Amino acid sequence: MLTDYHLHLRPDDLSATAADHFTQANAERYRTVAGERGIAELGVSEHVYRFHQALSVWQHPFWREQATDDLDGYCAFVREQTDLRLGIEADFVPGAEDRIANLLGERDFDYVVGSVHFIRDHAIDMDDYSVWGTGRSCEEIWSRYFQTLAEAAKSGLFDILAHPDLVKVWGSERPRPEGDLRRYYEPAVEAVAESGIAVEVSTAGLRKRAGELYPAPAFLEMCVEAGAAFALSSDAHRPAEVGADYEQAIELLEGSGVRELCVFERRERRLEPIGAAIA
Ligand SMILES: [Zn+2]
Ligand SMILES: [Zn+2]
């Protein structure tokens, strides 16, 4: 069974309002593309920081600018007006674990996608508030990123660890450490093994400057060796991106000996065979 759990019903720009995108017609567009691509299990995971309730977790200026919508309105919309699984993409904010747990625990999500987009106050994948150009070396940024990812995994707050090597998002536009990158992956993979969190295989990296799947084959291989479970997603921000480039993701998974994917319901997880690849 193919899944696409990391979906956004709207693009990231602020002008993409909830009123325009949290509609039955829009959800139907995602469902239609999923159907065409043989994806049976579909869920949405809007960014937590677009909801004003997220300001109880973090007061970063980017979050303050983005927090315009009502989280409970989103949950009610997905549950009552769509047949999609109800998820959320929640950032890991070190030190705010209790507040994140409260925010998530008060709602009946099917799953929570945990992300690291920031190292402290600096963004990995945005030009605004960027960590790049702060004077830190790429070695330091990479090790801090994967240490934070390890903390996110071990926090127990999340079901799925999103885009695990997001730090490579800029491809050759930003410096990258030399040589075998496994030394950076190690703490995160250990945390995956210890926590049992599902590791996301995401095709979004193919649409970024990186031009690669998340995670890199070596990271995936280390996770397989550590006995990890996997979730498959596109991180689509528009209907046409649902299940985008899944052939490549499935090839990587199957080539690494992965035969099953995680399926979630009310934060319970089971494994289902991947099944036939898309024609
Ligand atoms: Zn993300
Ligand atoms: Zn996302």
Compute the distance from residue 274 Cα to the ligand 2 centre, in Å. 22
Compute the distance from residue 242 Cα to the ligand 2 centre, in Å. 12
Check whether 83 has a pLDDT greater than 50: yes
Instruction: Supply the pTM of this predicted model.
Output: 0.97
Q: Which ligand ends up closest to the CA of 10?
A: 2
Compute the distance from residue 66 Cα to the ligand 1 centre, in Å. 15
Q: Which ligand ends up closest to the CA of 214?
A: 1
Compute the distance from residue 263 Cα to the ligand 2 centre, in Å. 18
Check whether 82 has a pLDDT greater than 60: yes
d(CA 25, CA 12): 19
Q: Which ligand ends up closest to the CA of 162?
A: 1
Average pLDDT, stretch 52-78?
98
Average pLDDT, stretch 107-129?
97
Mean of all residue pLDDT scores within the chain: 97
Compute the distance from residue 204 Cα to the ligand 2 centre, in Å. 9
Average pLDDT, stretch 3-20?
96
Strand partners, 2: 39
Is the distance from CB of 132 to CB of 209 less than 8 angstroms? no
Residue 275: predicted pLDDT: 80
Compute the distance from residue 154 Cα to the ligand 2 centre, in Å. 20
Average pLDDT, stretch 101-118?
98
Compute the distance from residue 43 Cα to the ligand 2 centre, in Å. 12
User: What confidence category does residue 278 fall into, taking pLDDT thresholds of 50, 70 and 90?
Assistant: low
Check whether 279 has a pLDDT greater than 50: no
Is the distance from CB of 199 to CB of 161 less than 8 angstroms? yes
User: What confidence category does residue 176 fall into, taking pLDDT thresholds of 50, 70 and 90?
Assistant: very high
Compute the distance from residue 205 Cα to the ligand 1 centre, in Å. 11
Strand partners, 155: none
* Phi–psi pair at 175, nearest 5 degrees: -65, 150
Helix, strand, coil percentages in the chain from 3-state DSSP, rounded to 5: 40, 20, 40
Q: What is the pLDDT of residues 199-256, one digit of tens each?
A: 999 999 999 999 999 999 999 999 999 999 999 999 999 999 999 999 999 999 999 9
Eight-class DSSP state of 196: -
Q: How many C-beta atoms surround the C-beta of residue 127 within 10 A?
A: 9
Check whether 277 has a pLDDT greater than 90: no
d(CA 109, CA 256): 30
d(CA 131, CA 231): 28
d(CA 146, CA 190): 11
Strands 111-115 and 160-161, sheet pairing: parallel
Compute the distance from residue 87 Cα to the ligand 1 centre, in Å. 13
Q: What is the pLDDT of residues 13-45, one digit of tens each?
A: 999 999 999 999 999 999 999 999 999 999 999
